[in-house]
Amino acid sequence: AYTDREGNKRFGSADRNGFFYVLNREDGAFVSADPFVTQISWASGIDDTGRPIFNEDNRPGDPAAAADGAKGETVFAVPGFLGGKNWNPVSYSQNTGNFYIPSNEWGMDIWNEPVTYKQGAAYLGSGFTIKPLYEDYIGSLKAMDPDTGEIKWEFKNPAPLWGGVMSTAGGLVFTGTPEGEFIAFDDETGEQLWSFQTGSGVVGQPITWEEDGEQYVAIMSGWGGAVPLWGGEVAQTVSYLNQGGMLWTFKLPRQFAQAN
């Protein structure tokens, strides 16, 4: 929830489907939707009512239409089913008016197939292989203006971003990477001001609090979750990561502390 530059009460949400939606917070009316990841293939956009404009030619084939019913036509769909953004929370800064979105630039080969049950296996009715869109990065932390859909700055990361994001009144944006780095960015420019190697991948959500006039930030470090489980080709890029389970706590310098 936020208030835009004209004083309107809004609600913003970065969806798994790759679009950032803005709604009127008072009556739920659709305001806008802009892509926050690239190469979206399942829809050409969102219409004035908030409904997607489907790309009908980019849906996986129906196995029932095949003679043997074994497998439908394979298509390459973007984003992959893990989403342009998944569970991990975005953050909003009242300082900048921007949302900070932990996104991933990936797609998937996907095909429909007859639904079959096998003990211990996923019960899906489809098959898929997740693939990166770019050679040099998958994860992308984006600062987005919700009023215009403009991406103000972007931090690119080789592995997927699977942790949450937190912004502070002191002008910082925090998130962690699967490679184990816990990073503080300048909320206006995206400059990396500080980082710390936690020893394992960050999947958790940063938190902050004030105690005795000092501001603290903490993060859980311990790699796991859906990326190595479902990642296909992507899982290979993070297969070397250490497992872990530690809580790291840091005290902010006075010039960056909300309490200052």
Ordered structural domains, the chain, with CATH: 2-256 (2.140.10.10)
pLDDT tens, residue by residue, 191-219:
999 999 999 999 999 999 999 999 999 99
Residue 159 reports pLDDT greater than 90: yes
Residue 188 reports pLDDT greater than 60: yes
Residue 64 reports pLDDT greater than 70: yes
Omega before residue 79 within 30° of 0, cis: yes
Distance of CA 105 to the CA centre of its chain: 9
Residue 258 reports pLDDT greater than 80: no
Report the alpha-carbon distance of residue 89 to residue 142 in Å, rounded. 13
Residue 128 reports pLDDT greater than 70: yes
User: pTM score, two decimals?
Assistant: 0.94
Report whether 176 contacts 186 (CB < 8 A). Answer: no
Residue 259 reports pLDDT greater than 60: no
pLDDT > 70 in the chain, percent:
98
